[in-house]
């Protein structure tokens, strides 16, 4: 440590924040092109926030994020945060699956020190690229003592979100990330931080999940419900040998009779089925229109579909007991 600044490590994984287009004003570009050193050098004043080290973990568009990379990131973070020389972590990431990675880390990082994910909607070459300011703010949050004990955070566009609450809601707009149901964790304006609350749900050191005993995760498929949708995809998943299915249900995690019958069949074959909703916010309530007690299905509570899949994969690594998994969905 050179001074009294915090020591922050930036782990770069790719995404638009590291993306390059041919010109400054075009929709076409390639994710994950710019390396971590170039990214840090593009942010004037960032060196005044923390002593920074950068490490490249991967350089992919986050549509190609994988469980393998998640495990690599989680192991690296646990190693780094166990050291007295590291005070916080920033992860740069594509925005498409950012909420899944953030929620995974929220469940599995064994430290109270801040873990902050960030990305950008505009590539690094765009007119008004917002990646540099997002990185600046993410480092400010990771370096700040008040950020401890708030689980994995997502910082974009001056806002601090909890991993559990946040979701991407727009394909192009800079204001893409919203915590529609539980609200923001705080804000960060040119590095000035205000926290409003602690995150909801069990996370980090309190979580039962540990990356130490995970080398892979069981397959869980997501199946989207719509008016008059067929049950064939559920049958295909069963045949493919899935361990879990998450339904992106209509309304309160509902689905038509054909899909519900197929879900019953899946549960009877030992597959764990979670009912989530395709809506952007609200609870999926147990035993509302679907009798979960009778069928053996699990209600997602207010966890969205993609994050329900993350939690179910981790649960299935520990247990197949539907009652226990329901309790975890209520509490995490
Ligand atoms: N804005 C973005 O980061 C999306 C680009 C890319 N698909 C990704 O998720 O990495």
pLDDT tens for 60-113 read 999 999 999 999 999 999 999 999 999 999 999 999 999 999 999 999 999 999
CB 71 within 8 A of CB 211: yes
Instruction: Out of 171, 206, 241, pick the residue that ends a domain.
Output: 206
Distance 220 CA to ligand 1 centre (A): 23
Claim to verify: residue 20 and residue 151 sit in the same structural domain: yes
Supply the DSSP symbol for 247. E
Claim to verify: residue 200 and residue 232 sit in the same structural domain: no
16 noted as active-site residue: yes
Mean pLDDT, all residues of the chain: 96
Quick check: CB of 101 below 6 Å from ligand 1? no
- Ligand 1, residues 14, 16, 21, 155: which to mutate, most atoms within 8 A of Cβ? 16
The two structure tokens encoding residue 327: 């309790």
Claim to verify: residue 181 and residue 273 sit in the same structural domain: no
Residue of 178, 294, 203, 295 lying closest to 247 (CA atoms): 295
In angstroms, the CA 268 to CA 248 distance is: 20
Q: Which member of 13, 92, 95, 305 is catalytic? A: 95
- Over residues 147-191, the pLDDT tens digits come to 999 999 999 999 999 999 999 999 999 999 999 999 999 999 999
Question: Is 109 within the bounds of a domain?
Answer: yes
Query: What pLDDT, on a 0 to 100 scale, did the predictor assign at position 54?
Result: 94
Claim to verify: residue 186 and residue 240 sit in the same structural domain: no
Query: What pLDDT, on a 0 to 100 scale, did the predictor assign at position 300?
Result: 98
- Over residues 131-148, the pLDDT tens digits come to 999 999 999 999 999 999
Claim to verify: residue 161 and residue 12 sit in the same structural domain: yes
In angstroms, the CA 177 to CA 173 distance is: 9
Claim to verify: residue 48 and residue 174 sit in the same structural domain: yes
Query: What pLDDT, on a 0 to 100 scale, did the predictor assign at position 213?
Result: 85
Question: Is 326 within the bounds of a domain?
Answer: yes
Tell me: pLDDT of 1 over 60.
no
Binding annotation for substrate: 62, 95-96
Query: What pLDDT, on a 0 to 100 scale, did the predictor assign at position 133?
Result: 97
Instruction: Out of 206, 238, 269, pick the residue that ends a domain.
Output: 206
Tell me: pLDDT of 196 over 90.
yes
The two structure tokens encoding residue 293: 């007690």
Quick check: CB of 16 below 6 Å from ligand 1? yes
Claim to verify: residue 168 and residue 227 sit in the same structural domain: no
Claim to verify: residue 182 and residue 306 sit in the same structural domain: no
Question: Is 1 within the bounds of a domain?
Answer: no
Quick check: CB of 96 below 6 Å from ligand 1? yes
Claim to verify: residue 196 and residue 57 sit in the same structural domain: yes
| Residue 288: burial class (beta carbons within 10 Å; 0-12, 13-18, 19+) | middle
Tell me: pLDDT of 2 over 80.
no
Distance 95 CA to ligand 1 centre (A): 5
Distance 265 CA to ligand 1 centre (A): 37
Question: Is 175 within the bounds of a domain?
Answer: yes
The CATH number linked to 224 is: 3.40.50.40
Instruction: Out of 163, 184, 206, pick the residue that ends a domain.
Output: 206
Question: Which ligand 1 atom is nearest residue 119's CA?
Answer: 3
Question: Is 214 within the bounds of a domain?
Answer: no
319 noted as active-site residue: no
The CATH number linked to 32 is: 3.40.50.1170
Distance 54 CA to ligand 1 centre (A): 20
Distance 94 CA to ligand 1 centre (A): 4
Q: Looking at the DSSP assignment, which residues form a beta bridge with residue 277?
A: 249
ipTM: 0.93
In angstroms, the CA 304 to CA 74 distance is: 22
Question: Is 138 within the bounds of a domain?
Answer: yes
Mean pLDDT of 219-229: 98
Structural domain total, the chain: 2
Q: Are strands 186-189 and 159-162 parallel, antiparallel or unpaired?
A: antiparallel
Quick check: CB of 63 below 6 Å from ligand 1? yes
Claim to verify: residue 170 and residue 241 sit in the same structural domain: no
Question: Is 299 within the bounds of a domain?
Answer: yes
Residue 307: domain span: 219-331
Least confident of 40-44, 151-155, 297-301, 310-314: 40-44
Claim to verify: residue 46 and residue 93 sit in the same structural domain: yes
In the chain, the percentage of residues whose pLDDT exceeds 90 is 96
Claim to verify: residue 16 and residue 135 sit in the same structural domain: yes
Question: Is 278 within the bounds of a domain?
Answer: yes
Cβ burial 168-193 (10 Å sphere, 16+ → b, else e): beeeeeeebbbbebbebbbbbeebeb
Mean pLDDT of 222-247: 98
Quick check: CB of 62 below 6 Å from ligand 1? yes
Quick check: CB of 94 below 6 Å from ligand 1? yes
Mean pLDDT of 5-23: 94
Binding annotation: 62, 95-96
Give the CA diameter of the chain.
65
């Amino acid at each position: 440590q050179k001074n009294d600044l915090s020591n922050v490590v930036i782990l770069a994984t790719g995404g638009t924040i590291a993306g390059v287009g041919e010109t400054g004003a075009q929709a076409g570009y390639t994710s994950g092109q710019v390396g971590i050193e170039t990214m840090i050098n593009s942010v004037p004043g960032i060196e005044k926030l923390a002593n920074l080290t950068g490490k490249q973990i991967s350089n992919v568009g986050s549509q190609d994020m994988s469980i393998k990379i998640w495990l690599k990131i989680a192991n690296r973070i646990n190693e780094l945060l166990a050291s007295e020389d590291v005070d916080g972590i920033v992860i740069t990431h594509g925005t498409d699956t950012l909420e899944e990675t953030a929620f995974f880390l929220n469940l599995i990082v064994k430290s109270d020190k801040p873990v902050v994910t960030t990305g950008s909607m505009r590539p690094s070459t765009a007119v008004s690229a917002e990646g540099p300011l997002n990185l600046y703010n993410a480092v400010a949050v990771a370096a700040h003592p008040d950020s401890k004990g708030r689980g994995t955070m997502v910082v974009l566009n001056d806002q601090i979100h909890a991993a559990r609450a946040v979701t991407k809601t727009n394909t192009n707009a800079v204001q893409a990330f919203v915590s529609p149901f539980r609200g923001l964790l705080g804000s960060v304006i040119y590095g000035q931080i205000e926290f409003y609350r602690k995150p909801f749900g069990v996370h980090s050191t309190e979580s039962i999940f540990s990356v130490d005993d995970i080398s892979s995760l069981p397959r869980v498929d997501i199946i989207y419900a719509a008016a008059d949708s067929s049950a064939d995809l559920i049958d295909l998943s069963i045949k493919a040998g899935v361990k879990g299915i998450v339904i992106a249900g209509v309304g309160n995690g509902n689905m038509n009779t054909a899909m519900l019958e197929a879900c019953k069949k899946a549960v009877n074959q030992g597959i764990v089925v979670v009912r989530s909703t395709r809506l952007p916010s609200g609870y999926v309530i147990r035993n509302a229109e679907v009798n979960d007690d009778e069928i053996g299905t699990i209600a997602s509570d207010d966890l969205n579909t993609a994050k329900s899949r993350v939690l179910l994969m981790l649960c299935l690594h520990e247990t197949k007991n539907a009652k226990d998994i329901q309790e975890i969905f209520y509490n995490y």
